[in-house]
Amino acid sequence: MLVSEIEFQLFDVNQIGRMLGQGEFAHVDRELVRSILESAAELAAHNFSPLAVDIDANEPAMIDGRARVSAALRAALREYADTGYIAESFPRELGGADLPSAAGTALMAIFGAACTPAAGYVFLTAAAGRLIAAFGTAQQKALWLPPMLEGRWFGTMCLSEPQAGSSLLDATTQATALGNGRYSLRGNKMWISGGDHDATENIVHMVLARIVEDGRRSEALSLFIVPRLRPDGTANGVQLLGLNKKLGHRGTTNCALAFGGETDCIGELRGEAGRGLQCMFQMMNEARIGVGTTAAATAWTAYRYASDYAFERRQGRNVTDGSSARLIDHADIRRMLLTQKAIAEGGLALCLFGASLVDQVRTLDPNGSTRARELLDLLTPVIKSWCAERGVEANSLAIQCMGGAGYVRDHPVERLYRDQRLNPIHEGTNGILAIDLIVRKASRGTGLETLFTAIEVEAREALAIEEFVALAEPMISALGLLRQLLVSINNPPGDVRKAYAFATPTALMVGDLTVSWMWLRQVRALADRRDHWADGKRAAALQMVRQIMPQSLALAPAVRDGMGPYADLAAECFAADWAIQ
């Protein structure tokens, strides 16, 4: 079922078929993409979905200084790697299949829907590999990429530190030159997903650190390739300090690591010295699209389970004739299910559209490539934050639809909710990404107007067709409101206090409008198709535009007028002991 949804999104909505069979993708056609997606769905169903309950209940454990995972998880990851999925989107000269990024994101959705905590290991490995492919030397590519693409070695990114968290500019890990591009690293990193485990022979860390020269640390961060084991198989001074015990995503190890604590830790400079953060943004942005994709997939899985349950479970009486009713017969259950559908399938549409922009940057003429790059840069934080924010809402509704049954561990929706709850936090909290969108991109770049123009063009085209008026009119109104709001929020110029205070609700408005556009694109792609599946799509589009988007837009007057009582409130007013002062 998910493969059919993805195929519709890829070929009917995003029309990626236009780029296949020519240029960089001359070796790819629709049948190849379909066969890859179908085989992935089979592997996900047989090897990943059955893992979900077990690795949630039996977390990785720290034994003799190493993180140990279950044999079943190791086997599933091995099968994924042996099938070649890690390498699918890499260039053929590096050992990949050179598939479009849109197809790679579709694979991420399939395995994310099955078991994101398991699939996270290989997703991170592919992202780390792409970082080496983009910025590594020929020697580094030859040394590190083959075992990573084969899945014999996995990869991670090591950014955060215990004292710094998301504030990367406060990182203190340092690197001292040893010559020939090799450095000795020393420092601690925190919140490292996949940072240690025994599911693979080696782990290749992408580490941000400051180069120390003549006893002075550089202000700029540099990026280093730091393996757990050196190429000769000896230990490299990467020590597991502990495993973080989490609400969800329990099957993915999350580690505190020490580099160069007891023995020397040697890393290779990757890219230019002092430009590590700029390089790392490639991996972070890829990870953000990945988080958005798995968030949408997690919402979709919970929605499908809640929907199936609603058809089977009898509860109460029909309001029309008093006969025994199924949950699906109740209007409020349908409201909650349709909201989940609007979020999950709208989120998938947004993620696959973002991935198609990656392909357009590669394949279009300079003007088209520039426009695609502007949209991609703007939408990357929206993809992550919207799918995560609304995804939590969708997963909560899945529990609510099932009542008490949804709240207990007999059913997967409570686990999926716990897994989903991480997504607004990692790879840049939603608040940080909102500030990036509203304070930086909206006021300094052209991407937001590129997005608004694209939405407006399609909405005004849709106004000419009666079937689409109910979708297009609210979008045109929302566009006008948001344009006015963004002028207000960044006024007076240079004063960012208002923008910082209201970035999050404003970013949600931008996300709601963008996903409403995604739904308009889906409905237009349905053409004259009339069946239950198509009618469900049309209803979900209306739910998004008429019921979900107005919820965020309702805050516009408060944002415009600066009515946020928290913004200028004295910090002491939040103190827990205020009553006894």
Domain-located, residue 364: no
Q: Please report, for residues 156, 416, 485, the alpha-carbon distance to residue 481 in angstroms, rounded to integers and kept in the order given.
A: 42, 35, 6
In the chain, how many domains are there?
A: 3
pLDDT, position 446: 65
Q: Please report, for residues 375, 388, 434, the alpha-carbon distance to residue 371 in angstroms, rounded to integers and kept in the order given.
A: 6, 26, 22
Compare 295 and 263 and report the one with higher pLDDT: 295
| 268-293 residue pLDDT tens | 999 899 999 888 888 888 889 999 99
Euclidean distance between CA atoms 390 and 344, whole angstroms: 9
Euclidean distance between CA atoms 65 and 256, whole angstroms: 12
**Mean pLDDT, the chain, whole residue set:** 94
Domain-located, residue 87: yes
**Is pLDDT at 435 greater than 80 in this prediction?**
yes
**Is pLDDT at 577 greater than 80 in this prediction?**
no
Do residues 121 and 188 both lie within one domain?
A: no
Do residues 103 and 178 both lie within one domain?
A: no
Do residues 122 and 166 both lie within one domain?
A: no
Domain-located, residue 352: no
Euclidean distance between CA atoms 310 and 329, whole angstroms: 8
pLDDT confidence band for 208 (50 / 70 / 90)? very high
Q: CB neighbours of 329 closer than 8 A, spacing ≥ 6?
A: 318
Domain-located, residue 374: no
Q: Burial level of 473, CB count in 10 A (0-12/13-18/19+)?
A: middle
Domain-located, residue 321: no
Do residues 8 and 134 both lie within one domain?
A: yes
Do residues 529 and 449 both lie within one domain?
A: yes
pLDDT confidence band for 369 (50 / 70 / 90)? very high
Do residues 141 and 162 both lie within one domain?
A: no
| 233-245 residue pLDDT tens | 999 999 999 999 9
pLDDT, position 579: 55
Q: Please report, for residues 454, 487, 566, 568, 570, the alpha-carbon distance to residue 579 in angstroms, rounded to integers and kept in the order given.
A: 53, 40, 19, 20, 15
Domain-located, residue 172: yes
Q: Which residue, of 133, 149, 165, is where some domain finishes?
A: 149
Q: Which residue, of 258, 273, 288, is where some domain finishes?
A: 273
Do residues 106 and 134 both lie within one domain?
A: yes
| 524-576 residue pLDDT tens | 999 999 999 999 999 999 999 999 999 999 999 999 888 788 888 888 888 87
pLDDT, position 122: 97
| 107-165 residue pLDDT tens | 999 999 999 999 999 999 999 999 999 999 999 999 999 999 999 999 999 999 999 88
Do residues 135 and 158 both lie within one domain?
A: no
Do residues 14 and 134 both lie within one domain?
A: yes
pLDDT confidence band for 578 (50 / 70 / 90)? low
Do residues 160 and 131 both lie within one domain?
A: no
* Contact yes or no for 287/427 (Cβ under 8 A): yes
Domain-located, residue 486: yes
Any idea what DSSP says for residue 14?
S
Q: Give the CATH number for residue 262.
A: 2.40.110.20
Do residues 186 and 61 both lie within one domain?
A: no
| 350-367 residue pLDDT tens | 999 999 999 999 999 999
Do residues 469 and 492 both lie within one domain?
A: yes
pLDDT confidence band for 213 (50 / 70 / 90)? confident
**Is pLDDT at 391 greater than 80 in this prediction?**
yes
pLDDT, position 366: 93
Q: Give the CATH number for residue 114.
A: 1.10.540.10
Domain-located, residue 252: yes
Q: What range does the domain containing 453 cover?
A: 429-565
| 324-356 residue pLDDT tens | 999 999 999 999 999 999 999 999 999 999 999
